[in-house]
Amino acid sequence: MGRTMRAALVCVATLFTAACSGAQGSSGLVADQSYVSGPGTVTKIPTDRRGAEIALSGTLLAGGAFDMADHRGKVVVVNVWGSWCPPCRAEAPGLQRVWTAVRARGVQFVGIDTRDTRAAAQAFERRFGVTYPSVADEDGELLLTFRDTLPPNAIPSTIVLDRLGRVAARIVGATTEEKLRRLIDDVLAERG
């Protein structure tokens, strides 16, 4: 077998092994057909490096409208999810428990249900007892709001906004209750 053929086989074998093992790119994300799930990697942004406030508005799954501007002065947790996403189903009960525990402390949760049907999304909320509001994002357009913060297919992802509406932290991939509570506590403890 010639060197060219051996090199080609090594290349194919390497690609196959990487694909089968869920090899991660430099971003730490693992690709799948319908979503990109990370290991729940947390990125905190120092207060002096946070960008502009996030302007997010849309139609709620339950009807009515959501506008981020109505929640200035609160810490806002934004969770990107879809009913078709297995890690989203796994993290939903924990997100609901955190929401129940922290909402009286000046924290607002909002979901962005992306690339989904309204009926499937509402069934998801009923199944997992999700009571915080979610904005419908059938075409993924609302995710562009976070284009400087999240990869466009990072589902699930969770973002914590400070009281000024700026991204203070993000979790790419599924989160845990403990991880999310710590981030919320850190942002609530900030002065100013």
Task: Tell me which H or E stretch contains 122.
Answer: helix 118-128
- The pLDDT of 18-34, averaged and rounded, is 30
Q: Is residue 27 pLDDT above 70, yes or no?
A: no
For the segment 35-58, what is each residue's pLDDT rounded down to a tens digit? 445 568 899 999 999 999 999 999
What residues contact residue 169 under an 8 Å CB cut-off, 6+ apart?
42, 43, 44, 45, 159, 160, 183, 186, 187
In this structure, the strands spanning 75-81 and 134-137 are unpaired
Task: Specify the pTM.
Answer: 0.79
The helix-helix angle for 86-102 and 118-128 (nearest 10°) equals: 60
Instruction: Take residue 101 and report the two structure tokens written for it.
Output: 């525990």
**DSSP E strand boundaries for the chain:** 30-31, 36-37, 39-44, 57-59, 65-67, 75-81, 107-114, 134-137, 157-161, 167-173
Question: What string of DSSP letters covers 29-55?
Answer: -EE-SS-EE-EEEEEE--GGG--SPP-
Give the pLDDT score at 150. 76
Return the percentage of the chain with pLDDT > 70, whole number: 79
For the segment 54-107, what is each residue's pLDDT rounded down to a tens digit? 999 999 999 999 999 999 999 999 999 999 999 999 999 999 999 999 999 999
First to last CA, the chain: 69
Q: Is residue 26 pLDDT above 70, yes or no?
A: no
For the segment 145-174, what is each residue's pLDDT rounded down to a tens digit? 888 887 767 899 999 999 999 999 999 999
Q: Is residue 144 pLDDT above 60, yes or no?
A: yes
pLDDT top residue among 191 and 54: 54
Beta bridge partners of 104: none
Q: Is residue 15 pLDDT above 80, yes or no?
A: no
Instruction: Take residue 148 and report the two structure tokens written for it.
Output: 């400087």
For the segment 110-131, what is each residue's pLDDT rounded down to a tens digit? 999 999 999 999 999 999 999 9
